């Protein structure tokens, strides 16, 4: 076996080891505890951190990034980030909210800004875009601590009429130049 093939085999073994650790639920230290950021990014982007709990009760809520545009007349419309030429490529874009959740604030802000700039290029009549990160589920109070989480309704709740819905986690608004703007600075006739 030549050196190139040995490297490929070692990389494949390393990837499978990370997948196995993710499936076993092994937590890696974060940056503050001496973790390696490149390994965490690799795990998030490849799905190697997945615990493979696809069925109840371990199913987590679905998240999405949605873009709401407005033009100079105040008309609004939405668009999505589908950039790939096939379904599999576009499905990989659905992991963006999960990556954002694992990123530090500066990195997440930069990713949201990059997406906003790309989407504004696709929608040249827009003067600004809201980048909305949303989660599909219900808000549920956790324990006695009073903390809220997004989860799916229990079967009892579902039978009584409780249905999941898209819940806004956070949003940022960007102008045509990729600058973040405050909500009170937005109006239909915003100058460019």
Q: What is the DSSP string of 60-99?
A: PPEEEEEEEEE-TT--EEEE----SSSHHHHHHHTTHHHH
Q: Is the pLDDT of residue 65 over 70?
A: yes
* 192 located within any domain: no
Judge whether 191 lies within some domain.
no
Does 103 map to a domain? Answer: yes
Does residue 180 sit within a domain?
Answer: yes
Among candidate residues 52, 70, 85, the one where a domain is terminated: 52
Select the highest-mean-pLDDT range: 22-31, 84-93, 157-166.
157-166
- 48, 127: one domain: no
Residues 123 and 155 in one domain: yes
| Shared-domain flag, residues 173 and 101 | yes
Instruction: Tell me which of 126 and 98 has the higher pLDDT.
Output: 126
**Residue that wins the pLDDT comparison between 77 and 97:** 77
Instruction: Please check whether residues 11 and 102 belong to one and the same domain.
Output: no
Where is the domain boundary, 28, 52, 76?
A: 52
CA dihedral for 137, 180, 36, 48, sign (positive or negative): positive
| Residue ranges making up the domain that contains 32 | 1-52
Taking the C-alpha atoms of residue 93 and residue 79, their distance in angstroms, rounded to an integer, is 14
Residues 11 and 87 in one domain: no
- Whether the model clears a pTM of 0.85, i.e. scores above it, the answer is no
Q: pLDDT tens, 127-186?
A: 999 988 888 888 877 767 777 788 888 889 889 999 999 998 888 899 888 788 876 555
pLDDT attached to residue 64: 82
Which range is least confidently modeled, 22-36, 61-75, 165-179?
22-36
Domain identity same for 69 and 129: yes
Contact 89, 83 (CB under 8 A): yes
Number of domains forming the structure of the chain: 2
Please report how many Cα atoms fall inside a 13 Å half-sphere around the Cα of residue 76, on the Cβ side. Answer: 9
Q: Are residues 72 and 159 in the same domain?
A: yes
Task: Say what the pLDDT of residue 102 is.
Answer: 59
> Would you say residue 190 lies in a domain?
no
């Amino acid at each position: 076996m030549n050196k190139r093939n040995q490297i490929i085999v070692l990389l494949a073994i390393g990837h499978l080891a990370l997948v196995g650790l993710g499936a076993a639920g092994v937590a890696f230290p974060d940056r503050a505890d001496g973790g390696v950021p490149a390994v965490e990014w690799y795990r998030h982007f490849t799905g190697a951190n997945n615990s493979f709990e696809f069925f109840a009760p371990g199913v987590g809520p679905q998240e999405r990034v949605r873009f709401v545009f407005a033009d100079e007349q105040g008309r609004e419309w939405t668009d999505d980030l589908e950039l790939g030429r096939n379904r599999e490529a576009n499905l990989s874009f659905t992991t963006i909210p999960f990556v954002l959740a694992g990123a530090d604030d500066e990195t997440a802000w930069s990713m949201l800004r990059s997406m906003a700039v790309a989407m504004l290029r696709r929608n040249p009549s827009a003067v600004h875009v809201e980048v909305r990160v949303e989660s599909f589920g219900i808000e549920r109070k956790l324990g006695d601590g009073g903390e809220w989480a997004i989860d799916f309704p229990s079967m009892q709740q579902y039978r009584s009429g409780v249905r999941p819905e898209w819940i806004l986690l956070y949003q940022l608004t960007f102008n045509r130049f990729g600058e973040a703007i405050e909500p009170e600075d937005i109006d239909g006739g915003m100058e460019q």
